[in-house]
Amino acid sequence: MLFLWKRLRRRMTTSRQLLAEQPIEIENSTSAPLEVMIEMNPDRYVLQPEDKMVIHAHPEAGALGLAFFDGGVQIYLGWDSGPTVSINGQIVEPDWETPGPNAAR
């Protein structure tokens, strides 16, 4: 019985950890801007070369996912519709004004 309780307790702790904040880091190591779309809303951000983005998400029970497209990445954060996003250590708001990598095409 003690063994079963330890296993159950471990699973409960793991479940709580899954609901906790999940930081996701993205670094633009290219020489061109990188467009980052964060879904549920969607929110758009543009990372300049060498910028580092940290997304503080609470994915709840939904799955995390990535989809790459020409010049960018789309991130699905489960059911989190309001993650906190920072670029180079500064909290930022979605940016629909900055031209992305495909603007000149």
* 86 occurs within a structural domain: yes
In order of 17, 57, 91, the CA distances from 12 in angstroms are: 9, 20, 32
At 94, the pLDDT band (50, 70, 90 cuts) reads: very high
* 98 occurs within a structural domain: no
- Prediction pTM value: 0.74
- Which token pair is 100? 């992305």
Q: Is 97 helix (H, G, I), strand (E, B) or coil?
A: coil
* 63 occurs within a structural domain: yes
* 7 occurs within a structural domain: no
Sequence letter at residue 98: T
10-32 confidence digits (pLDDT tens): 444 445 555 566 788 999 999 99
State the pLDDT at residue 103: 67
Question: How many separate domains does the chain show?
Answer: 1
40-76 confidence digits (pLDDT tens): 778 999 999 999 999 988 766 567 788 899 999 998 8
Asked whether the beta carbons of 33 and 48 are under 8 A apart, the reply is: yes
Handedness of CA 11, 13, 14, 15 (dihedral sign): positive
